[in-house]
Amino acid sequence: MPKFFAALWRIITFPFRTLWWLVSLPFRLIKRFNRFLNETPEEGQLPEVFSVSIQKPALLMEHLNDLRKHLFRIMVVVAVCVAVMFAFTPDLVNFLALPIGGLDELTAIDVTESVSVFMRVAFMGALTIASPYIAFELWWFAAPGLMPRERKSGLVGIPLVLAFFIGGIVFSYYLLLPTALPFLLNFMGIEALPRVSSYINFVTGILFWMGVAFEFPLVVYILTIMGLLQPSTLAHGWRIAVVIIAVAAAVITPTPDPINMSIVMAPLLILYVISIGLSFVAAIGRKKKAQAR
């Protein structure tokens, strides 16, 4: 009999218990996340974890399996973003074609050319809008090996991922492309009639890689917080950095002339200087935190 009344009570209170579970779920998640942000890593800090993982293959496989889960979630989110971008891709293709005068200035030869252009633009747009979530998953993977201050600093920097990426896209679209396209389309007095696929691949490639390049200061700051990079390394290696930036500018630059290459090099050099400053700020904060313990 008692079992009967207990089962009856569970049936009667089930809707109320379910409602309470749903109402309290956000608060429990916030509490759990706050505890995660403030707990000290049990396995040591990130550099130590990497060192131990290399020495112990079993532990390394465990971390790789964890990374696989994060990458799988990234793939799912990117796929969803691609589906969402399908609704905006036609307008986005028109926007990308504006620097050359619109889609009327482009031609298509292959039957599937327009489809490949559509899919490429949708995918690149999906990567852009999903970049904060991608950064969050990478932070989540590294967070167990970070100290509380480092976790919070990395989490705060995640929204900046999209801002820096869009900054690189805006620079390329409004400054680099208007300078490079007239040179390319009339080189040696030969007027070019670009295909839509070659033009879109060309434009999206420039926008994407310049967006990635603009992420450099943020990456340097986070790596310094984690203890994986020292500001002195960046400061003393400026000569090598200039050479690497020149090579990167030559790869990104769509034209062989030094003017457009300089247009790309200038912001990259400025970003490098900013990265050194941010690295020193992060190193000083990390040192003060270590002394306070």
Written as six digits, the tokens of 32 are 């759990």
Q: Tell me what pLDDT residue 223 has.
A: 76
CA-closest candidate to residue 99, choices 190, 170, 193, 203: 203
Series of mean pLDDT values for 10-residue runs along the chain (293 residues): 67 76 77 73 55 57 77 92 92 88 77 84 90 86 73 77 86 82 69 76 84 83 74 81 81 65 78 83 70 59
CA-closest candidate to residue 153, choices 67, 241, 221, 83: 221
CB of 277 closer than 8 Å to CB of 234:
no
Residue labelled with tokens 């970049």: 131
Q: Tell me what pLDDT residue 32 has.
A: 77
Q: How many residues does the chain have?
A: 293
Residue labelled with tokens 């070019």: 192
Q: Tell me what pLDDT residue 189 has.
A: 63
CB of 92 closer than 8 Å to CB of 121:
yes
Name the pTM for this structure.
Answer: 0.73
Hey, where are the domains in the chain? 46-292
Distance CA 140, CA 151 (A): 9
C-alpha pair distances (Å), 86 with each of 16, 130, 207, 221, 226: 41, 14, 19, 35, 38
